[in-house]
Amino acid sequence: MTTHHECDVLIVGSGAGGATSAAILAEAGHDVLIVEEGPWVDQGSVSPFSLDQMDKQYRSGGVTVALGVPSIAYTEGRCAGGGTEVNSGLYWRPPEETLERWRSRYSIKDFATDDILAICEEVEHSLSVQPVPGEHTAASRILQRGADKLGWQNGEIPRWMTYPEGAGATQGRRQSMTRTYLPRSFDAGARILCDHRLDKIVRNGRRAVSAQLTHAGNPVTIAFRDVIVCGGAIQTPAILQRAGLRHRIGRTLAVHPTVKLSAKFDAAEHGAVNTPEDVSVFQVKEFAPNMSFGGSASHPGLVALALTDNWRDFGKAVTKWPELAIYYAAITSEGRGMVQAVPGMRDPIVTYRLTKRDRDLLGQGLARLATVMLEADAEEVYPAFKGAPIVRTRADIGDMASRFAASKASVMTVHLCSTAPMGDDEKRCATDSHGLVHGTDNVFVNDAALLPEAPGVNPQASVMAIAIRNARRYADQRAG
């Protein structure tokens, strides 16, 4: 038996774009229905950065790849709140020069830098963005110490967290979408259907008229006035393609490719450096925007995974996991990828091509990151690529660099964007300046897919600010 719903605005996805859109539109008086493919998972019911969390809150248990040489592993949140529930919560405003470049290069109207940054201030207040009170974790201090010894620019990145009186770095409560914008949307009358997979948006010419979904194996239909797709940079283009919309959609995937290493420190001198439930809040920006360094999740299972590229030589270190922490070098890529929905397949095929410059930068980034670790007094460094040596000295870094090839590395990313870029230049862009898909009257995009390029920093602040901008424009137009 088919279940049927109706609404003014159907929002597909409940992450950084979907939740903020829902709050703005519900508060403006629209009847908003959110559909989310994944479950609602209460914070605290799973351990952060654990394998259990990956199983319950990530798509495919966190194991998805963009095919290429090398293939790039990527992660997607698949739960109420999307990626805001599972990432580190580090908050970066979009750089002003990035906003200005996007405005001119992609002909984005009504995109004044001051206006976007003013919305960022609102977001920061709503999410309680702030630095860690009191002492930082050992993993944070290591990155800061190594960069300071080298004289490299570094600093703490604030997070969307609240902290009880006298709390330390690991006692914060994540102010993700399930704690902020989603409850705000519910207070204004919005509804959410979790565990509902969108199969198809049905169109009649330029207008979308309904959605077909599946819930617990049963069919569901939703009739709406307008639909806003916020499924993320991978799922959003696939949803649009299944609806027969293809102009500039899914052809310009941009990511921040990342390589990693594990570093071991003397327990007698540094104590336990591994903090399974947290990450370093320091980043090194000496070589930005081309590359940056930071701390990665270091749960014991992830430490073991990081050592597998040369398990014969590295494997014995896993028993010392409390003395190990994982760090990354991320680059701003010139390469681009594609997302292609294929009939009969549940998820799209994703490909990505690194340029020679990208591959060279990954090697340089890993070498510089290893240098930071040695300056921070690491005993041993374990680079994550096949055939990598154990790095103990500066001379070993040269050996590591000579053996490195991107094709042998475990390259990954958590930042995905640009698969339906916005702007009034239809030769470059899939949507107009406010997210309306070109060639349609009522199909909108309002998530990371809109970002014309990878911003060089964590993109979620950019996503939220732009989504709020677009939702307000929508509400103003519909009110008129």
Give residue-wise pLDDT tens across range 69-125. Answer: 999 999 999 999 999 999 889 999 999 999 999 999 999 999 999 999 999 999 999
> pLDDT exceeding 70 applies to what percent of the chain?
100
Count of the separate structural domains present in the chain = 2
DSSP notation for 420-444: S-BSS-TTT-SB-TTSBBTT-SSEE
The position carrying tokens 């979308």 is 208
pLDDT confidence of 145, banded at 50, 70, 90? Answer: very high
CA-derived radius of gyration, the chain: 22
**For 154-216, where are the alpha helices, taking DSSP H only?**
181-187
The pLDDT value given to residue 93: 96
Residues 203 and 348 in one domain: no
* Annotated catalytic residue 415: yes
Phi/psi for 381 (5° steps) reads -125, 135
The pLDDT value given to residue 170: 83
Residues 214 and 350 in one domain: no
Q: Do 136 and 282 form a contact (C-beta atoms < 8 A)?
A: yes
The residue out of 413, 440, 466 marking a domain boundary is 413
Asked if the structure places residue 76 within a domain, the reply is: no
The residue out of 385, 413, 441 marking a domain boundary is 413
> pLDDT exceeding 90 applies to what percent of the chain?
88
CATH of the domain at 35: 3.50.50.60
Residue 268: pLDDT over 90: no
Weakest-pLDDT range from 120-134, 272-286, 312-326, 424-438: 272-286
Q: Which regions of 117-256 does DSSP assign to beta strands (E)? A: 129-130, 154-156, 159-162, 173-174, 191-193, 197-204, 207-215, 218-229, 254-255
Residues 122 and 211 in one domain: yes
CATH of the domain at 345: 3.30.410
Residue 352: pLDDT over 60: yes
- Compute CA distances 145 → 45, 134, 150, 151, whole Å: 34, 17, 9, 10
* Of 125, 152, 66, 138, nearest in space to 329 by CA: 152
Residue 455: pLDDT over 60: yes
Q: How do 336-340 and 258-264 pair as beta strands?
A: unpaired
Q: How do 154-156 and 129-130 pair as beta strands?
A: unpaired
The position carrying tokens 């949307």 is 185
Residues 336 and 304 in one domain: yes
Q: How do 324-331 and 258-264 pair as beta strands?
A: antiparallel
pLDDT confidence of 45, banded at 50, 70, 90? Answer: confident
* Mean confidence (pLDDT) of the chain: 95
The residue out of 390, 413, 436 marking a domain boundary is 413
Asked if the structure places residue 75 within a domain, the reply is: no
Asked if the structure places residue 121 within a domain, the reply is: yes
Residues 122 and 199 in one domain: yes
Residue 27 backbone class (left: φ over 0; alpha: ψ -120 to 50; beta: rest): alpha
Weakest-pLDDT range from 41-50, 64-73, 141-150, 276-285: 41-50
Residues 163 and 282 in one domain: yes
Residues 277 and 345 in one domain: yes
Q: Is the dihedral of CA 370, 373, 379, 382 positive or negative?
A: negative
Q: Which residue segment(s) compose the domain that 107 sits in?
A: 3-40+82-89+92-126+176-249+421-479
Set 5, 256, 270, 415: catalytic member: 415
Q: Do 370 and 394 form a contact (C-beta atoms < 8 A)?
A: no
Residues 187 and 273 in one domain: no
pLDDT confidence of 480, banded at 50, 70, 90? Answer: low
Burial class (CB in 10 A: 0-12, 13-18, 19+), 166: exposed
Asked if the structure places residue 45 within a domain, the reply is: no
Residue 309: pLDDT over 80: yes
Asked if the structure places residue 272 within a domain, the reply is: yes
Asked if the structure places residue 223 within a domain, the reply is: yes
Asked if the structure places residue 64 within a domain, the reply is: no
**For 307-382, where are the alpha helices, taking DSSP H only?**
311-314, 356-375
Residue 315: pLDDT over 80: yes
Residue 62: pLDDT over 90: no
Asked if the structure places residue 72 within a domain, the reply is: no
Residues 31 and 180 in one domain: yes
Residues 218 and 236 in one domain: yes
pLDDT confidence of 474, banded at 50, 70, 90? Answer: very high
Weakest-pLDDT range from 24-28, 335-339, 475-479: 475-479
What is the arithmetic mean of pLDDT over 220-247?
98
The pLDDT value given to residue 347: 93
Residues 160 and 245 in one domain: no
Residues 99 and 241 in one domain: yes
What is the arithmetic mean of pLDDT over 195-220?
97
- Compute CA distances 274 → 140, 323, 371, 374, 413, whole Å: 10, 6, 20, 17, 22
What is the arithmetic mean of pLDDT over 204-226?
97
pTM tops 0.85: yes
